[in-house]
Amino acid sequence: MRGHFNISYPGFTLDVDLTLPETGVTALFGSSGSGKTTILRCMAGLERSPTGFLSIAGEIWQDEQRRFFLPTHKRPLGLVFQEASLFPHLTVQKNLQYGMKRAGNAKDEGFEAMLDLLGIRALLGRATDGLSGGERQRVAIARALLTRPRLLLLDEPLAALDMKRKLEILPYLERLRDELSIPVIYVSHSLDEVARLADHLVLIKDGSITATGSLTDILARPDLSSAFAGGVGAVLEATVVAHETDGLTRLEFPGGKLYIAGGAHAPGSPLRCRINANDVSIALSAHTDTSILNALPATVIAVADADTPGHVFVQLRLIGGESLLLARITERSRQALAITPGLSVVAQVKSVAILR
């Protein structure tokens, strides 16, 4: 999937070149006003960039050099807005059928499965104004997917919901991610949502792209920490190996193993966890006289100034794999231990957050 969009409003210019994977969830991440929603609207054809280009799976949707622009209603996409935008004059069922009918999905293909996937079977006969925010968003997502789109665009689908509703709808989004075979573009300014859902990350600031890559690579880059204010930390894709008798669960990932407390996941299942940079300290040798359980041999890759004075971020690559970690330590410790790229150290991990 390739795109180029260039749009100017008074006081704002968007100029982006995108090459995105055709599978998985790609998050467009940035603060409000950075232009991420405008990019999504360009992809949907709701904004027309005067020099734009967009191709998806080899099919061209916009090519202004040839003055070609496919209008929104001819693009096989699904779109979910921040507020659900259900049609208030139609019931839930009629809302779901609105797009199905027009997309030629007359045989109700996948209708039953969608009701179960998003847990909306009981809502079918209801009017839309009686639904909760979370229910509305689930109906909106189902309505979009029932058109059998080849691209799903989600514009901050959780931003208008309170924490309780967010937690209610996130598992549905995760199921979608696992079951859908189409690319999903997810616009968000919430690092938690992105870390949970995305596979691929595009950082956007002031109308330009500052970084793009896999989620794990981008989140482990010390030079981009300012984009993740407060939530700096690497994400690891691990596998549950065993539940041990003392209540700990052993995870393995390329480059080592981790113990976490509890964990109901069956052995063999994948687990994504985040290790906050504040929870990682660095020692020059392995200690046996410490309470810290997770000590991972690693090599220093890079050092960068942190967002708080007197601190630095240290990027580490775990020995025996490609996995990356970030640690926030004081500049004084860095000097005392003479931490520079190439040094072999031991990363001590104080706590691990399970994302999914």
Partner 1 sequence: MDSSSLTAIWLTCKLATLTTVLLLLIGTPIAWWLANTRSRLKGPVGAMVALPLVLPPTVLGFYLLIAFGPHGFIGKAMDALNLQRLPFTFAGLVVASILYSLPFVVQPIQNAFEAIGKRPLEAAASLRASPCDAFFSVALPLARPGFVTAAILGFAHTVGEFGVILMIGGNIPGKTQVLSVKIYDYVENANYTQAHWLAGGMVFFSFIVLLLLYGSRKRVAWNR
Q: List residues near partner 1 by CB under 8 A.
A: 44-46, 71-74, 77-79, 81, 83, 85, 87-89, 98-99, 102-103, 129, 143-144, 147
110 closest CA partner among 16, 176, 174: 176
Contacts of 170 (CB under 8 A, 6+ apart): 158, 193, 196, 197
Instruction: Give the nearest distance from C-beta 335 to partner 1 in angstroms.
Output: 56
Instruction: Give the nearest distance from C-beta 44 to partner 1 in angstroms.
Output: 6
- For 63, 186, 197, the CA distances from 177, given in Å and listed in that order, are 29, 11, 8
Give 105 or 278: the residue with its C-beta nearer to partner 1: 105
* CB-based contact 207:13 (threshold 8 Å): yes
Give 149 or 207: the residue with its C-beta nearer to partner 1: 149
Give 42 or 260: the residue with its C-beta nearer to partner 1: 42
Instruction: Give the nearest distance from C-beta 152 to partner 1 in angstroms.
Output: 11
Query: Which of the 8 DSSP states describes residue 73?
Result: G
Give 45 or 134: the residue with its C-beta nearer to partner 1: 45
Instruction: Give the nearest distance from C-beta 164 to partner 1 in angstroms.
Output: 25
3 closest CA partner among 64, 44, 52, 71: 52
Query: Which of the 8 DSSP states describes residue 265?
Result: P
Instruction: Give the nearest distance from C-beta 58 to partner 1 in angstroms.
Output: 21
- Strand-pair partners of 235: 274
Instruction: Give the nearest distance from C-beta 79 to partner 1 in angstroms.
Output: 4
CA angle 228/230/232 to nearest 5° reads 55
Which residue, chain included where needed, has tokens 């990027």?
A: 315
Spatial distance between the Cα atoms of 253 and 325, rounded to a whole number of angstroms: 12
Instruction: Give the nearest distance from C-beta 217 to partner 1 in angstroms.
Output: 32
Give 90 or 319: the residue with its C-beta nearer to partner 1: 90
Give 102 or 287: the residue with its C-beta nearer to partner 1: 102
112, HSE (Cβ side, Cα atoms, 13 Å): 1
Spatial distance between the Cα atoms of 341 and 303, rounded to a whole number of angstroms: 7
Spatial distance between the Cα atoms of 196 and 231, rounded to a whole number of angstroms: 13
SS3 284: coil
Spatial distance between the Cα atoms of 97 and 90, rounded to a whole number of angstroms: 10
Spatial distance between the Cα atoms of 311 and 132, rounded to a whole number of angstroms: 44
Instruction: Give the nearest distance from C-beta 351 to partner 1 in angstroms.
Output: 42
Cβ count near 59 (within 10 Å): 12
Instruction: Give the nearest distance from C-beta 144 to partner 1 in angstroms.
Output: 7
Give 27 or 79: the residue with its C-beta nearer to partner 1: 79
Give 92 or 347: the residue with its C-beta nearer to partner 1: 92
Give 28 or 215: the residue with its C-beta nearer to partner 1: 28
